[in-house]
A and B are shown apart, each in its own frame.
Chain A
Amino acid sequence: MPLSSPEKMHFKSHSGKMLSESSSFLKGMMLGSIFCALITMLGHIKIGNGNKMYHHEHHHLQAPNKEDILKISEKERMELSKSFRVYCIILVKPKDVSLWAAVKETWTKHCDKAEFFSSEKVKVFESINMETDDMWLMMRKAYKYAFDKYRDHYNWFFLARPSTFAIIENLKYFLLRKDPSQPFYLGHAIKSGDLDYVNVEGGIVLSIESMKRLNKLLSFPEKCSEQGGMIWKISEDKQLAVCLKNAGVRAENAEDSQGKDIFNTKSVGLFIKEAMANKPNQVVEGCCSDMAVTFNGLTPNQMHVMMYGVYRLRAFGHIFTDALVFLPPNVSDND
């Protein structure tokens, strides 16, 4: 039986109502998706490189990989090996004396030159007296001293604390193809609020250009203050970052070709313990880079063990072809 006209009208209005309802729904859905897409896009632009899980602005410098190396000729390699001149600054205090001794007898022998800058004169060891207990002032004075005296002799400046063990050969290898007349400021980089800085515990690398710019600013208290924080003290590595930032030099995190940090603020033992707890099936694979430059938090004994473990202990029959060649230092019996 066909619908009566009031029924038809009811039906029509009903279906019309449904139509308007579904169109509202559809409009809502569209708007929702656009909204969501916008937010996601914005979020990604903010993160910058969408591949990382966290927000930061500093760059990640990577080591050259095999393809890059093969482009360099044999003769160039020998010349290159000699062209890296690394000056090591180790900031020490009297209480560090046993670490100081260990560091002196171990890895610093592989720097082209290494000097110890201490807060005060110490009887047992030679050092350059900074005449201050304040770490930031020590750092400033050390950088100024090193630059004034050695600007023409070294092109890379590596600063460390005596609790750090460094493999200078791996540092030089990492610096292959990096032009020291560019402003490099490298190490284990951390973001603290707006500031990207290199953690002093992993060691700080500055190119000669960065040293130039830093030293220019040292005499300008507004650009590079001796005080730092007003209310509480700011650590010396952050203060350095502020000065360098004012000089147009940005912190960069150093990584190997696999993306692993090569400057480390922890010891091998600590990395292993963490890996054993968190990834027990891949402890060594997940530990650290093959070309790690620094580890931190070592005892003096561990420094000697690292010396043996790095420069001597190895497996027979595993041969490596590297881009650079480094000779062992003269007058040394533990490497």
Chain B
Amino acid sequence: MSEIHFWEMASKSWLNFLIFLCGLAVGFVLCSQLFSILLGEQDDTQPKILHNDPHDGHSDDNGEYHLKGQMDFNADASQHKDENTDIADNLYEKVKILCWVMTGPQNLEKKAKHVKATWAKRCNKVLFMSSEEDKAFPAVGLETREGRDQLYWKTIKAFQYVHDHYLEDADWFMKADDDTYVILDNLRWLLSKHSPEEPIYFGRRFKPYVKQGYMSGGAGYVLSKEALKRFVDAFKTEKCTHSSSIEDLALGRCMETINVEAGDSRDTIGKETFHPFVPEHHLIKGFLPKTFWYWNYNYYPPVEGPGCCSDLAVSFHYVDPTTMYELEYLVYHLRPYGYLYRYQPALPENIRKEISQAYKNEDPK
């Protein structure tokens, strides 16, 4: 009897012990869950740190690491607390620019996407022109084929589309490629000195073949409202036709025919603003060989080295996706704090008057 009792007791305490262990495990797990919830919340309020922070090396193992609490636009805006954009905002309202970007179905994801993610958002209105419609992107379908020989067709149809649907929505109409980077703020500064009623267009001026010169296609060009009206009209009246597939040259010839002036887009100290290549190609002496076609095409005396390019450059061409973002960072983010820039151009007269008027009205004194 006592033996049985003994075994009973032994098994009971063994059982008790097991139950105790279960309790231990359950308690531990519950508690750690609780802590991870509490700390998990804390983690979300972490300062936003780059995944390629050296301390974070261990998280990079599988290469699919996605940062928690990634930098959102609000967090970035706080870096720009010292920034006053009144003048830029004022020009945005006064100089309305519609941009259309020449692209194609195969390039929407490869190239146009990066344009959309960077400079395109600064246009008053932006349209992506393709041979086929893409509702999701969105891209306008021009119903042409694709290819270099279609460029002028696409250009004619694109301007036609813009004229028919958006003529009153903008003052100026900019054409760019999906590998062109455009600095809209600087374009507005350039155009603010002119009226959209002038028959004029601006870009990187080339001299051959057309007496008044013509604008490089890749560097982008911008038509005044009057110029756009005349251009579209010219095809209706057949003053201009699809004479060749060389888009920029053919357009330049048409412009001359319809008396739209090829403007001088250089800045106030004579430096070029529209560029047919990336900064490196222009800034490095000797990068473009002297036998290169470029040296004979430039309407104004071409310059290589630091004199090539205005501080207030408007465009660069042959910009690959990585360079799009790099330029965006260099223009709109990285800056030398406290540095007094050498080139300090004046505001256009009319804008200056308006802004001082606005301040007068605000000032209670």
Chain A residues near B (Cβ < 8 Å): 17, 20-21, 24-37, 40, 50-54, 56, 65-66, 81, 167, 169-170, 172-173, 188, 190-191, 199, 256-261, 265-266, 268-269, 271-276, 278-279, 281-292, 301-302, 304-328, 333-335
Contacts and interface: CB of A to CB of B under 8 A. Distances in A.
Given A24-B17, A284-B329, A328-B340, A258 B52 contact: no
Contact of B31 (A33, A191, A333): A33
Contact of B50 (A260, A283, A328): A260
A156 to B, nearest CB: 16
Given A31-B24, A32-B25, A50-B42, A304 B284 contact: yes
Nearest to B332: A315
B73 interface: yes
Given A24-B16, A272-B329, A283-B117, A317 B85 contact: yes
Nearest to B313: A313
Interface stretch (B76-84, B166-174, B222-230, B236-244): B76-84
A327 B83 contact: no
B356 interface: no
A173 B335 CA distance: 12
Given A25-B20, A309-B279, A312-B311, A283 B31 contact: no
A169 B333 contact: no
A334 B65 CA distance: 40
A315 B87 CA distance: 11
B91 to A, nearest CB: 6
Given A173-B338, A284-B333, 13 more contacts: A25-B22, A27-B23, A29-B27, A36-B35, A167-B336, A258-B47, A272-B322, A274-B51, A301-B287, A308-B306, A313-B311, A317-B188, A319-B84
Interface string B295-338: 00000000001110101110000000110011111111111111
B286 to A, nearest CB: 11
The B contact surface, by secondary structure, is: helix
Given A169-B337, A317-B85, A285 B71 contact: yes
A34 to B, nearest CB: 8
B12 interface: yes
Nearest to A334: B306
Interface residues of B, number: 99
B343 interface: yes
B283 A318 contact: no
B90 to A, nearest CB: 8
Interface in B68-127: 70-73, 75-76, 78-91, 117-118
Given A286-B71, A301-B284, A169 B54 contact: no
B30 interface: yes
Interface string B1-25: 0000000000010011101111111
B30 A33 contact: yes
Interface string B32-67: 100100010011001111111111101100000111
Contacts of A322: 82, 337-338
B53 A312 contact: no
Given A24-B23, A26-B23, A309-B330, A261 B50 contact: yes
Given A278-B65, A278-B67, A286-B70, A310 B85 contact: no
Nearest to A267: B326
Q: Please provide the 10 A-B residue pairs with the shortest distance between their CB atoms, ordered closest to farther.
A: A28-B23, A32-B27, A317-B88, A259-B47, A29-B27, A309-B330, A317-B87, A32-B28, A36-B31, A324-B338
B266 to A, nearest CB: 15
B342 interface: yes
Contacts of A326: 336, 338-340
B150 interface: no
A228 to B, nearest CB: 22
A238 to B, nearest CB: 14
A173 B337 contact: yes
Nearest to A51: B46
19 contacts: A17-B12, A29-B27, A30-B23, A51-B46, A54-B58, A169-B336, A169-B337, A258-B79, A268-B330, A278-B51, A278-B65, A282-B71, A285-B72, A287-B325, A292-B334, A309-B331, A315-B185, A320-B84, A326-B339
B210 interface: no
B19 A315 contact: no
A168 to B, nearest CB: 8
